[in-house]
Amino acid sequence: MYGGSLIAVIQLYDTLEYHDHRTAIILMLHFTFTHLFREALEEARAHVANLINAEGEDTIIFTSCGSESDNRAIDIAIHQYNAFHSSKDSKDAYALPHVISSTIEHPAILLYLKHLADVRVAIELTLVGVDEEGVGT
């Protein structure tokens, strides 16, 4: 779509002798591509929201990989837990969420849960072992 213009701009960039001109071209490229990517992302988000009948486009989150998706889902669950309990007048208002997971969970999940428990102190974590038949021990 913008291939010819991009090639011309890159060729112009390579022939410039002054640093200020190169900086201006970089800023123009950054603005142009940021704007194009933002538009494409908003269009994709709207399309996905429509496909799955989501409550709104702002509920669609794109991630770069499965691990990031796992971590984001955990963060959202913790946020929802904290929001729910902080709105109550109870002794649970400041309690950490208690997360129970298995010792054979995917490493992306286990490492992040351990990080949340040990480093960020955002959750209380219980890990349950399993036997050779997959039954909790």
Residues 44 and 70 in one domain: no
* Distance in angstroms between the alpha carbons of the first and the last residue of the chain: 59
Pairing between strand 124-128 and 98-102?
A: parallel
Residues 31 and 78 in one domain: no
Residue 137 domain-assigned (yes or no): no
Band the pLDDT of 92: cuts 50, 70, 90.
Answer: low
User: Quick check: 102 pLDDT over 70?
Assistant: yes
How many CB atoms sit inside 10 A of residue 54's CB? 14
Quick one: which H or E segment has residue 124?
Answer: strand 124-128
Residue 106: what pLDDT? 93
Average pLDDT along the chain:
79
The SS3 call for residue 100 is strand
Residue 88 domain-assigned (yes or no): yes
Residues 75 and 113 in one domain: yes
Q: What is the pTM of this model?
A: 0.65
Residue 134 domain-assigned (yes or no): no
User: In the chain, how many domains are there?
Assistant: 2
Residue 32 domain-assigned (yes or no): yes
Boundaries of domain holding 77: 65-128
